[in-house]
Amino acid sequence: MSAKRILVTGSTGYVGGRLVPRLLAAGREVRVLVRTPEKLLDVPWAGQVEIVQGTLQDRDAMARACEGIDVLYYLVHSMTGRGDFELEERKAAESVATAARDAGVSRIVYLGGLHPDSPDLSRHLRSRVLVGTTLLESGVPTAAFQAGVVIGSGSTSFEMIRHLTEVLPYMPAPKWVRNRIQPIAIRDVLHYLLAAVDLPPEINRTFDIGGPDILRYGQMMNGYAIEAGLPQRAIAALPVLTPWLASQWVNLVTPIPRSIAVPIVESLQFDCVMREHDIDTVIAPPEGGLTGYHGAVRLALAKMRDGDVETSWQNASVDGAPSDPLPSDPDWAGHTVFTDVKVRETDASTAQLWTVIEGIGGDNGWYSFPLAWALRGWLDKLVGGVGLRRGRRHAQDLQTGDALDFWRVEAIEHERRLRLRAEMRVPGKAWLEMEIEPREEGGSRYRQRAVFFPMGLSGRLYWFAILPFHGIIFNGMANRITLEAESRSA
């Protein structure tokens, strides 16, 4: 393979985060365009790529990112649908198309979704079609892949199927459970994306890609049940469940927040199967053939059991969640800020204490008043937030940018500090910080700090309303974390 220079947009996303290390392993020179470079701090391949900060609509950043590039991967697609969603998607595609053409990029590779030939597509499917069309008309040879439902550890579609199947022994479902879908394993998506680098320059078109199985959504749920060792689920298709009601149901019984559930459910209103198989004439199937649905589920479950989930839907940006980092203490002057600080001395070493801190959340819980944490998570789900069941990517390891229940890892310094930014729905901005420092006489000092910047009167009322619970929750949390660390040193 030639050492072509590659630009990947969407490298912090589910597909892009898996594609980049494979491009590097294939000997490619890789540059990434990211809005927040801090999200790549702990990614194993971060030191092997060139990082350009910016967004798709930032014309200057796109010009810098495209300079000297041979192949551009367009792997960005918003799931939030805020504002004039389709207009924003079109602007982003036009910005990329212009920058790629002006820089002399020789190939664009775009990943969209399978869709029927219908004027009544959901706006998210329409936006994907619009982006693909814009790139195909850019003057830069473009391979626009239209993929079926992607099945892999951590993918949104897989997690939705998994939780619906595991939580509900009986599923009153919308009529779209009878629609036909052609799922594709994430490994096969990556196979096509990697091979697209070497497509001949005359190719400028869409390609449908999907796995070997065509299933109804209900069959996919029961296929998961078989591979997970669960009884078959009874599924009743009810015409009264509208897409809006179905997305609220998905929001409540799965970790998928409403902002992501809505576009997924809207897109399931159609049969989404391959209409042509022309991809076979330009890219050979992977060695051993395409992975069937049951095989893809088995692989995903094995990755989860082994704690080897490379990327996850959990780390996608949350609609409406604050993204600004915690200001430094001197910057608080003149602002209303509420804090709750707990300090504990412990005989546990910094390493033992850090192990407990880094493993917090998910199945391990929050070391205090589980019922209160569960209730807060349910309340967050009811108002469209992510809730506690979003969990974490890995049972023990955390990286900057990781989702952690209804928090986001904003900063992490191993064996010293973990700072989490709240992504639950609150009238303000909140952070939870846990710090460790060694004591001269041995052991460690643990410092826990909750910080809240209230928004208006509602923010102040919210803080004072939950103040009585702080003594239980935050005191208990500090006590249990240090006791757990001491028990591991015994």
168-223: pLDDT as tens digits: 777 766 777 788 899 999 999 999 999 999 999 999 999 999 999 999 888 998 99
Across 382-407, average pLDDT: 85
**Domain ranges within the chain, ordered by starting residue:** 5-302, 338-488
Side-chain-side CA neighbours of residue 90 (13 Å): 8
Q: Which residues contact 25 (CB under 8 A, 6 or more apart)?
A: none
Confidence tier at 377 by pLDDT (50, 70, 90): confident
Locate tokens 């395409």: which residue? 290
Question: What Rg, from alpha-carbon coordinates, does the chain have?
Answer: 24
**354 or 169: which leads in pLDDT:** 354
Specify the pLDDT at position 335.
77
Quick one: tokens of 69?
A: 């590039």
Closest to 386 measured CA to CA, from 422, 410, 420, 361: 422
Does the CA dihedral 109-184-246-256 come out positive or negative? negative
Side-chain-side CA neighbours of residue 253 (13 Å): 20
Task: Work out the angle at residue 371's Cα, subtended by the Cα atoms of residues 349 and 313, and round it to the nearest 5 degrees.
Answer: 75
Across 288-300, average pLDDT: 95
Specify the pLDDT at position 241.
60
pTM, entire model: 0.83
Give the DSSP letter of residue 272. B
Q: Is the pLDDT of residue 360 over 50?
A: yes
Q: Which residues contact 240 (CB under 8 A, 6 or more apart)?
A: none
- CATH number for the segment(s) 5-302: 3.40.50.720
Under CATH, what is the fold of the domain 338-488? Alpha-D-Glucose-1,6-Bisphosphate; Chain A, domain 4 (3.30.530)
Side-chain-side CA neighbours of residue 212 (13 Å): 11
Are the C-beta atoms of 349 and 427 separated by less than 8 Å? no
Specify the pLDDT at position 256.
80
Q: Left, alpha or beta for 422 (phi > 0: left; psi -120 to 50: alpha)? A: beta
| Most trustworthy range by pLDDT among 101-110, 458-467, 469-478 | 101-110
Confidence tier at 1 by pLDDT (50, 70, 90): very low
Lowest mean pLDDT: which of 90-104, 106-120, 378-392? 378-392
Closest to 305 measured CA to CA, from 200, 401, 417, 394: 394
| Distance of alpha carbon 258 from alpha carbon 81, whole angstroms | 11
Specify the pLDDT at position 321.
66
Across 442-454, average pLDDT: 93
Which stretches within 215-348 are classed as H helix? 217-228, 243-253, 258-267, 293-305
Are the C-beta atoms of 104 and 66 separated by less than 8 Å? no
Closest to 353 measured CA to CA, from 439, 425, 277, 428: 439
What phi and psi, each to the nearest 5 degrees, are found at residue 216? -85, 155
Across 251-275, average pLDDT: 80
Specify the pLDDT at position 131.
95
Closest to 144 measured CA to CA, from 118, 115, 123: 115
| Most trustworthy range by pLDDT among 237-246, 260-269, 350-359, 459-468 | 350-359
Confidence tier at 224 by pLDDT (50, 70, 90): very high
| Most trustworthy range by pLDDT among 112-121, 142-151, 380-389 | 142-151
Question: pLDDT by residue (tens digit) across 39-50?
Answer: 888 889 999 999
